[in-house]
Amino acid sequence: MAGHSKWAQIKRTKAVVDAKRGAVFTRLGREIMVAARGCADPAGNFQLRTAIEKAKAAGVPNANIDRAIAKGAGSSGPDAEQFEAVRYEGYGAGGVAVLVEALTDNRNRTAADLRLAFGKQGGNLGETGCVSYLFVQRSVVRVDLNGGQNVDEEAFLDLLLALAEGGGPAVLSWQIEADGAEVFGDFTDLEALQDGLRRIGLGVREWEHRWIPVTPCQLKNTESLRACLRMLEVIEDLDDVRSVVSNLEVDDTLLEQLLQAS
């Protein structure tokens, strides 16, 4: 029986992993479909090129990518072009601001799902604009820096200055991490920023537009933190949701208390 139980656990774990993988593939496929509407040629469509790169990084098969491009371009029937990008805003427990970006073919369904996800954990779905003023949208490019080991920060800064001096877009900020660095620029500079970073010899790994909170919200008790984290997790798992960002700032001590309690 012990062997049977172990095998059953493995199957359940694999099912969860496969389900999450399938959900990611579906979301990325929708991004490609929406991006391919204007132009199905990645060489002339930066949005499509970005979506394809994200899909490849996530391991989406080429056949799936080609099929999504064809659907988005309208060559696979009238249902292919129904998805649209929609932003939703709301509050979590303790007043945490939440921005949700979705790709949906039914706004009413998506709004109802989100309203339920917010409400069950003490939050509420608000009107457009109710929290977006607490965030700024930036271009973010992730680059390789020799695995992040012993990076010469002065040399890296010199490279970024050379980018601006050479006519490239302005770098607003940057952050070195364990496996590379993230470079931040204006929202409109995403394509120019990643092109410029390549020109100065940096290996570009990923690029995206990202909402960044400018006014953080730190919760003071474990119950509010638990409810907020659970809410964000539930929202993230919804089929129509593309991305979720909040201004939640987690206190390490509070988080440790929460983990110990669970």
The pLDDT tens digits of the residues spanning 150-207 come to 567 788 888 898 898 888 899 999 988 877 899 999 999 999 999 999 988 888 888 8
pLDDT at 255 over 70: yes
Give the DSSP per-residue string, 116-180. HHHHHTT-EE--TTSSGGGEEEEEEEEEE-GGGTT--HHHHHHHHHHHHHTT-PPP-EEEEETTE
90, 102 in Cβ contact below 8 A?
no
Give the number of residues written for the chain: 262
pLDDT digits (tens, 9 = 90+) for 193-251: 999 999 888 888 888 999 999 999 998 888 888 899 999 999 999 989 989 999 998 87
Q: How many domains does the chain have?
A: 2
Q: What is the mean pLDDT of residues 138-143?
A: 93
- 53: CATH: 1.10.10.200
Pick the last residue of a domain from 23, 58, 81.
81
Q: Can you tell me the distance from the alpha carbon of 114 to that of 242, in angstroms, rounded to the nearest whole number?
A: 13
- Identify whether residues 119 and 220 lie together within a single domain: yes
The alpha carbon of residue 141 and the mean position of all alpha carbons in its chain are separated, in whole angstroms, by 13
Q: Is 236 found in the same domain as 164?
A: yes
* CA gap 157, 231 in Å, rounded: 39
pLDDT, the chain, mean: 84
Is the model more confident about 128 or about 79? 128
The pLDDT value given to residue 90: 97
pLDDT of residue 216: 92
User: Where is the domain boundary, 53, 81, 109?
Assistant: 81
Specify the 3-state DSSP secondary structure of 45: coil
Three-class SS of 249-261? CCCHHHHHHHHHH
Residue 4 scores a pLDDT above 50: no
Q: Structural domain of residue 190, as residue ranges?
A: 83-262
Q: Whose CA is closest to 193, among 177, 180, 206? A: 206
HSE-up of 177 (CA within 13 Å, CB side)?
10
- For the whole model, what pTM was predicted? 0.77
Nearest to 144 by CA among 203, 199, 200: 203
Q: What is the pLDDT of residue 9?
A: 45
Show Cβ contacts of residue 70 under 8 Å, excluding neighbours closer than 6 positions: 40, 76, 80
Picking from 54, 81, 108, the residue at the C-terminal end of a domain is: 81
